[in-house]
Amino acid sequence: MENTQYPESYYAASANAVPPRPVLQDDVETDVCVIGAGYTGLSSALFLLENGFRVTVLEAAKVGFGASGRNGGQIVNSYSRDIDVIERTVGPKQAQLLGEMAFEGGRIIRERVARYNIQCDLKDGGVFAALSAKQMGHLESQKRLWERFGHTQLELMDQRRIREVVGCDQYVGGMLDMSGGHIHPLNLALGEAAAVESLGGTIYEQSPAVRIERGANPVVHTPQGKVRARFIIVAGNAYLGNLVPELAAKSMPCGTQVITTEPLGDELAKALLPQDYCVEDCNYLLDYYRLTADKRLIFGGGVVYGARDPANIEAIIRPKMLKAFPQLKGVKIDYAWTGNFLLTLSRLPQVGRLGDNIYYSQGCSGHGVTYTHLAGKVLAEALRGQAERFDAFADLPHYPFPGGQLLRTPFAALGAWYYGLRDKYGL
């Protein structure tokens, strides 16, 4: 990893103050060594510490350096592929278990924020916005599906009703999920890291895991130290590189970009999003946006397959923002950044164990704020010997991308282009 400082994002500029964290320079011993201090790693660490494990977290850069400190901040329920697809893939019993878990991540976030008093601008309410009658039909079935799994805080909105909550005339309707919502994502990660330390966990920054010595007593090596542990949790997601080659084969890092306007002032902000809900549209390559606590609009969208950093992010995202909100024509963009998420072919998370003592969760395919919090709990349960929920994820089938490591990027881009065309022409 070349650059280990935060990108120049709105989040880094408005991050809560944190103490400097040490670089690992010793030989330490612990129960669980967690690799990566994003939500997956921090959530795992917290659940493990709450259950009496000693935990050491290794972070290659800084807490929340990856997607967890760069994302749109949208608390979205369920998975990147919904429970109906899971039902068709794995059958009703496993789907029932996964379906019951699909709304737990948002509850975990709220519970963490309350218990550890995390200051991260948490707001309730998320909107799925339909651009066509077909997408509205899909939302109607999604509501029935989610209600079947006990999730009832949902309201379908017709064209008139959605205009009350989103000041944009593109949408034919939508669905409001009051258990969705939004957060300042980096401050959530920083608050969770402080909670880890308050329970006796240790976090080393600028301390990449460069080699894992596998076996009955595994050791994780960093450039200047090593961690001996009973268990290892690999939580490096799209930033992991080739540390664990088995994991790299069935996933692909992808970039997505976000811009942030200058503060809009109360009146304009209220005209865009009167109730301060977050919004994502229902396209395959979706746009997502929300207000910040100081009334800026954060707008994200698009995907760069293979995670190259685009040269001019504003030029890519600003036209999408202006299409939704032409009234922002003269507004200045203060921040623009990119971040990587990890895509799997099925768009479902890749979870499992290597040998008896190396556990992993990754690849929630761009839809991970809630899932990663759930993953931490499920991984901690597995380490405590209760693996039923872990196995429900671990049994999801995963396949390599067509074309292998060399051709997977153009093939995936081709697939996305096809779905993009379907969105454009409402097919």
Ligand X SMILES: Cc1cc2nc3c(=O)[nH]c(=O)nc-3n(C[C@H](O)[C@H](O)[C@H](O)COP(=O)(O)OP(=O)(O)OC[C@H]3O[C@@H](n4cnc5c(N)ncnc54)[C@H](O)[C@@H]3O)c2cc1C
Q: Is 60 in the site for ligand X (CB under 6 A)?
A: yes
Q: Is 292 in the site for ligand X (CB under 6 A)?
A: no
The length of the chain, given as a count of residues: 427
* Binds ligand X (CB under 6 A): choice among 6, 10, 11, 39: 39
* Binds ligand X (CB under 6 A): choice among 70, 143, 226, 377: 70
Q: Per the structure block, which two tokens stand in for 221?
A: 């090596």
CB of 160 to ligand X, least distance (A): 27
Judged by CB under 6 A, the chain residues 232 through 251 that form the site for ligand X are 235-240, 243
Q: Is 36 in the site for ligand X (CB under 6 A)?
A: yes
Using CB under 6 A as the criterion, what x/- string covers residues 251-290 for binding ligand X?
-----x-x-----------------------------x--
Q: Per the structure block, which two tokens stand in for 77?
A: 């329920």
* Residue located via tokens 């865009």: 272
Which CB sits closer to ligand X, 39 or 393?
39
CB of 415 to ligand X, least distance (A): 19
Judged by CB under 6 A, the chain residues 143 through 172 that form the site for ligand X are none
Using CB under 6 A as the criterion, what x/- string covers residues 325-344 for binding ligand X?
--------------xxx---
CB of 68 to ligand X, least distance (A): 3
Q: Is 369 in the site for ligand X (CB under 6 A)?
A: yes
Which CB sits closer to ligand X, 146 or 407?
146
* Binds ligand X (CB under 6 A): choice among 83, 95, 190, 364: 364
Q: Is 208 in the site for ligand X (CB under 6 A)?
A: yes
Which CB sits closer to ligand X, 184 or 367?
367
Q: Is 66 in the site for ligand X (CB under 6 A)?
A: yes
End-to-end CA gap in the chain = 41
Q: Is 24 in the site for ligand X (CB under 6 A)?
A: no
* Binding positions for ligand X, rule: CB under 6 A: 35-41, 58-61, 65-68, 70-74, 76, 208-209, 235-240, 243, 256, 258, 288, 300, 339-341, 362, 364, 366-369, 372
